Amino acid sequence: MAYSIGILGATGAVGQELIRLLYERNFPVGRLRLLASERSAGKKVEYEGRSWIIEAASEASFKDLDICIFSAGGSQSKAFASAAVASGCIVIDNSSAFRGDPEVPLIVPEINPDAVANHKGIIANPNCSTAIALMGLYPLHKAFGLKRFIASTYQAVSGSGASGLIELEQQTRAWSQDEPLQTAVYPHQIAFNLIPHVDSFQADGYTREEMKMLHEGRKILGLEELAVTCTCVRVPVFRAHSISISADFERPVSVAQARQAIAEFEGAELVDEPEKGRYPMPLDYSEVVPCGVGRIRRDQVLSNGLAFWVTGDQIWKGAALNAVQIAALLHERGLVRNEPHGK
């Protein structure tokens, strides 16, 4: 059984990883259609001996697709999702456009796979930092009962797309050659700097990115009373986000039990030998499926608290990989069309 798959936003960093992961993970692709803007139409994309021509996205692009993964931004998701669903195509959306919609399941397959059955044509992928944080939080929630957490993110420039990568590289090169550093993507120099500003600020002083950790965490975990405070920081790292978390739980915590819970969870890898210099780092978790969790210790402020560190590839678990895992979940549970194209 094979499916007709589409990727909207195929020329972007996430779109390119989607192509790679669909084939590397042996998803049953019968036909792949790559969609993008008029500007990219006609370009050729190649992967492992296969090639495709980019098509300009239109409402007619989805009529014979089984699944289309949207990764072109919220405005494009809103513009094309209804047409895709009307054609019978399931949309897996990487943008924030539908995450807060009560009719749209927000899925991390290792955490809430059963929610996928409730879809009405659209399934949302969570924010990258939320997905990575939950790879550490969820197994601890199962062990101790999560009440609240405080998070500080260390977000790589690839979270801004190819332009963020280019800006960091260009600024680093200019600095090494004693030339002026140009800024375009970020409000300040990112090379050799930290910017506590990801997404737009709201009236209460938090950014939209920071509030995603609260709202999306509540929805995915099914914890309506979950309390979260988050500070999001852009750091001069090319790929993979890291998150420092202090979490408070309903039941007494144990570091040994916490380590066991992490080690047994399929979405995480325990890397927690600080005395040997072993803890998760972005260089070690770029293009890696599980997220690394380490630096686990009793929190010195929260009564039933644990402090820990999570690192994960935000292009993978925070976007492309999670989307492909959702597609695989649909396939495994028989939730795609009854008569898939290309079988």
| Calpha distance 288→250 (Å, rounded) | 32
| Tokens 């993110």 sit on residue | 153
| Calpha distance 143→268 (Å, rounded) | 15
| Calpha distance 185→158 (Å, rounded) | 11
SS (H, E, C) the chain: CCEEEEEECCCCHHHHHHHHHHHHCCCCEEEEEEEECHHHCCCEEEECCEEEECEECCHHHHCCCCEEEECCCHHHHHHHHHHHHHCCCEEEECCCCCCCCCCCCECCCCCCHHHHHHCCCEEECCCHHHHHHHHHHHHHHHHHCEEEEEEEEEECHHHHCHHHHHHHHHHHHHHHCCCCCCCCCCCCCCCCCCECCCCCECCCCCEHHHHHHHHHHHHHHCCCCCEEEEEEEECCCCCCEEEEEEEEECCCCCHHHHHHHHHCCCCEEECCEHHHCECCCHHHHCCCCCEEEEEEEECCCCCCEEEEEEEECCCHHHHHHHHHHHHHHHHHCCCCCCCCCCC
Which residues are catalytic, by number? 128, 241
